[in-house]
Amino acid sequence: MLAERDVRERQLRAAAFEGEADLGYAALADLCEPLGRDIARLPEGQRRALDNAVRRRDEGEVDERTVAAAVLAVLRSLTGPTVVAVDDVQWLDEPSAVALGFAVRRLADAQVRFLLTRRGPEPTRLERGLRDRVTTVELGPLPDDSTRRLLGRYDGLRPRQVRSVVEAAAGNPLFALELGRMIVDGGGGPSLPHEVGELLLARLSAAPPAALTALTAAALSPGAHRSELLAAVGAGAVDEAVATDLLEVDGDLARATHPLLLTAALDLAAPARRRALHGLLAPAVADPLRSARHRALAADGPDEELAARTHAAAEQAAARLDRRLACELGELALLLTPPAGAERPARQVALAHFHAAAGNNQRSLELTAEPDRLPPGSLRARAYLLRTDVELVPFATLVDHLDRALAEADDVETRARVLTQRAAYALRGLIRDVEEACGWAEGGGAARRRPPGRAQPGAVRGGLGAGGAQPAGDRPPRPRGPPGGGGADPRLLRRAGRRHPDDVAR
C-alpha cells in the first residue's frame, strides 16, 4: 500500500518481530536508518544520545528522555509529508515504544502520519498516544477474488489447484502464497497442509542448507545487519537465502521475508546447531553487548571467566537503560557461574535488581527469597532492602526487612540507603498523623482514618528501595480529642504538616 502512495512522501518503516521485543531500540534503529543527515543536524546532546541508542555505540548511559526528545526533534525537522509505518506494533520493543509514544503525543501539527498494524484486540502505547487521531480499520479474511489475484504470480497453477488453495487458505494471504509456492515447486500431494506453520517447516526442510543457515543466523541475532550476517555465515549463504526468498535486503538491513520464517527456522535448529551459530555471530556483530550475548549462548556449560564478562555486559546494559537485555545477560551470567562459585550470590542479587528495574517483581522476589542464606553483610542487606521495593506484605514485615538490612549493612553506601528508606517511612507516618489530626480538629471528633491494609510496593521511594505507609490499624489509636470547637487549630496542624518534609530533609 505504501508503494502506491505519492513518491514525494517520505516513508520510514519498521517491522517489529516477537524475537526482537527484548532488543532495545531495535524498531527505532530501523526507522532512523535513512535519517542519518537529519540526525547529524540535531543539537549535540540529542544527536549523541540518539546515535548511542540506535547505532548501539558504547558511550555510557542512554538517557531515555533525551532519546525521546531527539526523536521528536528529528521528526519535526522533516520537510514534506512523512509516513512512519510500524508493522506488528504489538511486538514493538519497549524503549522504541517509549520514544515514539513521546513523539506522537506532540506531533499533532506536523506533517507526520503513522501507519500501524496490530494483531490482537488491545491498543498499544502508540495508539493511546495518538488519542482521537486514530482511524482503525479491522482487517478480515482476504476475499476469494483477491486471493486468486494474489496467486496470479505463480504461472504454473492450474484452475483446479487455485480453487484448492483458495479454499484451504481461508483468506490467509501468507498461507495462500506458501501453498501456491509448494505446488509450483512440485511439493503438492493429494492433500494440502492445514496450518501455515506446518507448511513453513516443510519449506525450510527442503531449502538449501546454506540458505537455512543464513535464515537461522538472522533469527538468532535480532536486528543483525547484512554486513554482520556476511561476516558470520558468508556471502554465499546470505545470497542463497535472498535468492530463495527467505531473506530480503534493504541497504545494510537484512530481514526475513516473513517473521514466521524465523520462528520456523528456530524450531528446526538443534541446540548444538544454535550454539555453533552463536559462536559465529559473537565476533561478527558490532555491538559489544549483543556480542557478549552471543558468546554466552555459545557456551555449553559453566565458565567463570565468561560469566564475569557476561555480568559486566549486563551492568552496561542496565546503565544504558536497556532493561530487558540487562535481565537476559544477567540470567546468562548466573547460568554460566559455577554452582559453588564465590561470585554467585552477588550476581544473584544484582540480577534481582535488574528484574526489579524492568518491573519483573516476581522474578526479583524469587532471586531474593531467602536473604539469610546469602553471605552476611551488605549483600544480605541489599537483598532485604530490595524486597521492601517489590514485596506486597504487611507494613510490619517491611519494617522488619529494614531492621535486618540495617543490622547487616557494613558499608557506608548501603547503610545510607537503608537509613534513607527508614526516613521515608517515618516521614510518611508523620504526614498520616497530621492528616488524622486535621480530621479530628475539623470534624469535631470524626477523624479521617484510613482502613488497615497492606503496604503497596513502590509507594514511597528512597535509595534503592521503596515501601508503603503504615496502615492506621498497625498503630495504637490516637487519644480522642475534645468534641466541638475545642480541638487544635487545623491551620496550625496543616502548617506543621507542611514543615515535616523540610525538617526531615534538613
Same structural domain, 10 and 129: yes
Same structural domain, 192 and 224: no
Query: How far is the C-alpha of 381 from the C-alpha of 406, rounded, in Å?
Result: 7
Phi-psi map region of 188: left, alpha, beta (phi>0 left; psi -120 to 50 alpha): beta
Q: Please report where in the chains the cell 516513508 appears, as a residue.
A: 11
Task: Give me the mean pLDDT over the 204-221 stretch.
Answer: 94
Instruction: Give the pLDDT band (50/70/90) at residue 9.
Output: confident
Q: Is residue 72 part of a domain?
A: yes
Q: Is residue 37 part of a domain?
A: yes
Query: How far is the C-alpha of 452 from the C-alpha of 446, rounded, in Å?
Result: 17
Q: Which residues of 442-463 are buried (b: 16+ CB within 10 A; e: fewer)?
A: beeeebebeeeeebebbebebb
Same structural domain, 92 and 16: yes
Distances (CA, A) of 435 to 3, 442, 452, 468: 63, 11, 16, 16
Q: What is the pLDDT of residue 41?
A: 92
Question: In this structure, what C-alpha cell is assigned to residue 310?
Answer: 557476561
Query: How far is the C-alpha of 68 from the C-alpha of 95, rounded, in Å?
Result: 9
Query: How far is the C-alpha of 389 from the C-alpha of 456, rounded, in Å?
Result: 9
Q: Is residue 357 part of a domain?
A: no
pLDDT tens digits for range 29-61? 888 988 889 999 999 999 988 988 887 555 556
Same structural domain, 169 and 241: no
Pairing of strands 253-256, 10-15: unpaired
Instruction: Inform me whether the pLDDT recorded for 486 exceeds 70.
Output: no
Interhelix angle 259-268/209-220, rounded to 10 degrees, is 110
Same structural domain, 172 and 224: no
Instruction: Give the pLDDT band (50/70/90) at residue 234.
Output: very high
Instruction: Inform me whether the pLDDT recorded for 480 exceeds 70.
Output: no
Same structural domain, 30 and 113: yes
Query: How far is the C-alpha of 109 from the C-alpha of 16, rounded, in Å?
Result: 27
Same structural domain, 13 and 104: yes
Please return the burial class of 91, using the count of CB atoms within 10 Å of its CB with bins 0-12, 13-18 and 19+. buried
Same structural domain, 46 and 117: yes
- 464, 417 Cβ separation under 8 angstroms: yes
Q: Is residue 448 part of a domain?
A: yes
- 24, 320 Cβ separation under 8 angstroms: yes
Q: Is residue 382 part of a domain?
A: no
Of 291, 312, 337, the residue that ends a domain is: 337
Distances (CA, A) of 279 to 283, 284, 299, 451: 8, 9, 8, 58
Same structural domain, 217 and 253: yes
Of 81, 104, 133, the residue that ends a domain is: 133
Lowest mean pLDDT among 108-117, 184-193, 234-243, 426-435: 184-193
pLDDT tens digits for range 326-380? 999 999 999 999 999 999 999 999 999 999 998 899 999 999 999 999 999 999 9
Q: Is residue 29 part of a domain?
A: yes
Q: Is residue 405 part of a domain?
A: no
Domain count, the chain: 4
DSSP code for 277: H
DSSP string, 104-126: HTT-TTSSEEEEE---SSS--HH
Residue 440 domain boundaries: 423-505
CA-closest candidate to residue 454, choices 471, 477, 473, 467: 471
Q: Is residue 389 part of a domain?
A: no
Instruction: Inform me whether the pLDDT recorded for 402 exceeds 80.
Output: yes
Instruction: Give the pLDDT band (50/70/90) at residue 469.
Output: very low
Q: Say what percent of the chain tops pLDDT 90.
A: 41
Give Rg (Cα) of the chain.
29
CA-closest candidate to residue 316, choices 295, 332, 294, 292: 292
Same structural domain, 17 and 114: yes
Q: What is the pLDDT of residue 191?
A: 62
- 338, 369 Cβ separation under 8 angstroms: no
Same structural domain, 314 and 235: yes
On average, the pLDDT of the chain sits at 82
Q: Please report where in the chains the cell 530487558 appears, as a residue.
A: 324
pTM of the full structure? 0.70
Same structural domain, 197 and 238: no
- 38, 78 Cβ separation under 8 angstroms: yes
Of 155, 189, 205, the residue that ends a domain is: 205
Q: What is the pLDDT of residue 366?
A: 96
Q: Please report where in the chains the cell 543466523 appears, as a residue.
A: 217
